[in-house]
Every structure is written in C-alpha cells, then in structure tokens.
Amino acid sequence: MLASHWKTAGKIACSLAAATVLISQSHSQDASQQLDVTAELFDCITQMAKSASGSFFVDNILGDQDATQAAADSETGASYPPGSVVSLIPTEVMVKHNPGWNPETNDWEFIELNVSEAGSEINVRGTTEVVNQFGGNCFDCHKLARPEWDLICGSDHGCAPLPITRETIIGIQNSDPRCVREDA
Ligand code: HEC
C-alpha cells in the first residue's frame, strides 16, 4: 500500500518535471540530436548537387548525399535524411538535424548567411523564429508546403510563389561570390 502510494507520488513528480522541461524548452531544441553546423560547411552554391527539378541545390554534411538527392528528386514527396543541406539562393540554407531535434520544423534549422569572397558567416539561425533580410519568416512560408514535401516549397508544393522570376533566381545562384574564391 505504502509502496504504491510512493510510486504514484513519484509518477506525479516525474510528470511535473517533464512538463516543466517542456515549457522551458518551448523555443529551444534537443541538444542531444543537434548536428555540429558551422559557417565553414557552406560554400559555393553551384558546386552543390542540383535537385531533379533544377531549381535548388542539395548536399549532406554526414556524407549521405545519395539519400538527400533521392528526397530532392522525388516526384511524390519525401522526408529528408539527417545531415541534408538545401539551398535555393546563397544566403538561405536549411539543414536537417537528427530526429527529435525540433519536431515543429521536422528537425530543419533555418539559416541566413552573409556570403562574400571570404566565405560564409552565419547571420541568423534557428527554427520557427528566423526572419530573413527581407523581413520574411522562413518557417511561416515553408510550413505551407503540403506535409509530404517536408517543408520544401519547390514551385508547386503549396507555398506562395516568390515574387522573383526563375531567371532572377538563376542569376543570383550564378553570382555567388564564394564561387570565385581563389582557394575555392
Ligand atoms: C516569402 C516566403 C518565404 C520566405 C520568407 C523564405 N522562403 Fe525559402 N522559399 C520560398 C519559396 C516559395 C521557395 C521555392 C521557390 C522556387 O523554387 O520557385 C523557397 C525556396 C527555399 C529553399 C529551396 C528548397 C525549397 O523549399 O524549395 C530553401 C533552402 C529556402 N527557401 C530556405 C529559406 C530560409 C532559410 C529562409 C529564411 C532565412 C527562407 N527560405 C525564407 C518561400 C520563402
């Protein structure tokens, strides 16, 4: 009797502790599932692999390029593997952390870079709160992609289209200053 009473008390204490952790972590991530992502990982966009649609570029910082490429090339949607790096324009990158890192963003981190001939610097990084240099919240736009697309907008996954033409996007990709570095 006494033992079961203490078990119940223990369970309540445990759930309270869990609830407190959840509340205090509502804007942070599970550090144990976080990949080590530093600015040095990001370089010339056009040296990354192209998605089958031809619109964006992909890589994988864990060496799992094939799985990332398969997800990017899927015609029906796919969940990207951990380590995936996706980029449409040099200054904006999405990186996939390990499962459970941040369920709300499907474990994607949104990153805005400053890029120059000297390389990349991380300007802003995070999850649902990241706002780009144009005042747009990455997640607010990308969450409109239908669930099977894993927050990847593409040109027909449900996101509102960007107000720039494909030619402009290709022009921005081809003028990435990191691609003309002498040591690149
Ligand atoms: C105004 C809405 C909007 C905002 C804000 C926005 N994006 Fe996007 N993003 C899009 C759309 C739409 C596309 C697809 C464009 C295309 O290929 O025609 C896209 C494409 C991308 C891609 C290529 C993969 C894909 O989803 O097609 C990446 C990576 C990306 N954005 C990252 C970011 C990051 C990081 C931020 C914030 C720093 C950001 N975006 C902010 C709408 C947005």
Residue 7 is predicted with a pLDDT of 52
Distance (Å) from CA 51 to ligand 1 centroid: 14
Checking if the pLDDT of 182 tops 80, the result is no
Which of 162, 164, 168, 173 is the pocket-test mutation for ligand 1 (most atoms within 8 Å of CB)? Answer: 162
Residue 117 is predicted with a pLDDT of 96
Whole-structure pTM value: 0.87
More confident residue, 16 or 162: 162
Distances (CA, A) of 88 to 8, 39, 57, 94, 112: 53, 17, 6, 10, 12
Checking if the pLDDT of 14 tops 70, the result is no
Ligand 1: residues with CB < 6 A are: 55-56, 86-88, 92-94, 110-112, 130, 132, 136-138, 141-142, 152-155, 159, 161-162
More confident residue, 156 or 2: 156
Of 138, 108, 110, 145, residue with least CA distance to 126: 110
